[in-house]
Structure formats: C-alpha cells, structure tokens
Homo-oligomer: A and B are copies of this chain.
Amino acid sequence: MDKDVTVRERVEDYLGAIYRLRATAELPVPLSVLGEHFGFSPVSIHEMIQKLSQRGWITYYPYRGVILTEQGEAVAIALLRRHRLWERFLTDMLDIPWAEAHDIAGALEHATPESVTERLSTLLGDPVSCPHGVPIPPSKRAYTDICLRHVPVGARGRVTRIAPEFGDILRDVQAWGLLPGCQIIVIEQQKTEIIVQVEERLVSIPLDSANVIWIEVL
C-alpha cells in the first residue's frame, strides 16, 4: 500500500476497503481481512480500527470485526462514487487504459470535493456504471430508513430491518420484541444504551445493537 499518504486519505481508504470487503467477507469484516488487504501488521490494523471506532466511523466487535456506521458508510459510498466517475472520465474522455485509470482514480478521488463530483457526473452524462459495468453509487441514498442509533429522542418509527445480522443479534431482537414491522418510540439516549418503548414496554438497547436495527421514522 502507499507509504506517502495523508491522515484523511488513510481514513477514507479504510472506510472504502471495509465497504468493498463486505462483498467477499462475512459481516462484520474481520480485521485479518483488512490486514491482508492493506498488507499491514495486525497490530497496526487494530490500532487504526480503535481510532476509527472512537471517531464514530465504524462499530468494532472484538474478536469478530467491524461494520460501518451510517456516517462511515456515507463516506465510503461518496468515495466510491468519486472513484468510479474518475474512472469513467479517464477511460472515456482521456482514453486511458482501465487498469491505469483505476490507480489514478484512487489518487484523484481524495482530492475531489462534492461540487466537482456532481459536475463531473453531469459532464459524463450521469453514468450508472464504471467502465467494467460495476454500478456507480448514486449521489443520494435510495433507502429511507436510518439506524436506530440516530433516531432522535421522541421520534416514532417502525423497524424495517436488522442488518447486518450476525452473532446473537437476532435472538436479542426477538427478546426485545423489535422484529421488523413493529412500532417504537425512542424515549431516551444514554452513553451506552438507548431506551425504546415497544408496545407498552420499555426496552434498553446497547448502542452496538442499535447500530444494526434500522428504523423508518414516521
């Protein structure tokens, strides 16, 4: 991996890698997979993961791996969008071979503000796939639910999905009566947990779990 890279770039690269590695790896993405991808030592990966977790980009499940938070995913998706658009520009308008374009896009994507991204998309005719057919993420998220952690206190909503589902989360969700479809009200948000009203009961949900429960706010 590059040696000469900015802090912000590294953060983006980590988030982007986690986003893409979801496809090939299980969820959450194990640190070992990240280590292999970057070619960094397990200790270094672990260190960086701690920081990303502290800063709210990812949720870290020790001995299991990481998943992106809503914000982390937004960063990763925006990055990927910039990447694909630059790829198209380089191949379509500058006739640069795809393999080379991929690497160059990997550098340009970190130097591209939102305004340029969207105008570039327009210039290219708003393409929906990269030169090899891989989809380009749209500029705005298509789905309308947000994860429970970010539902404001007092809001009412309906559980839409549990994702990613792993470990004991399904069992917990069932115990709490939080299956998809049921209505909830967020009562209180604390340091480590969120208090939610389900039917007539109050349930206390750890933040980690709140990260994988998705709500459509009503």
Contact = CB atoms under 8 A, between A and B. Distances in A.
Interface of A: 4-8, 90, 93-96, 100, 104, 107-108, 110-113, 115-116, 119-120, 123, 164, 211-212
B7 A95 contact: no
Copy number of this protein in the oligomer? 2
Interface of A is mostly: helix
Task: Give 3 nearest A-B pairs by CB, closest first.
Answer: A107-B111, A94-B119, A4-B6
A73 B108 CA distance: 24
B110 A111 contact: yes
Contacts of A113: 104
A137 to B, nearest CB: 20
Contacts of A119: 94-96
B6 A93 contact: no
A210 to B, nearest CB: 13
Contacts of A5: 6
Given A95-B119, A104-B112, A108-B111, 5 more contacts: A4-B7, A96-B115, A100-B115, A108-B108, A111-B111
Contact of A116 (B4, B6, B96, B164): B96
Contacts of A93: 123
Contacts of A115: 96, 100
A148 to B, nearest CB: 14
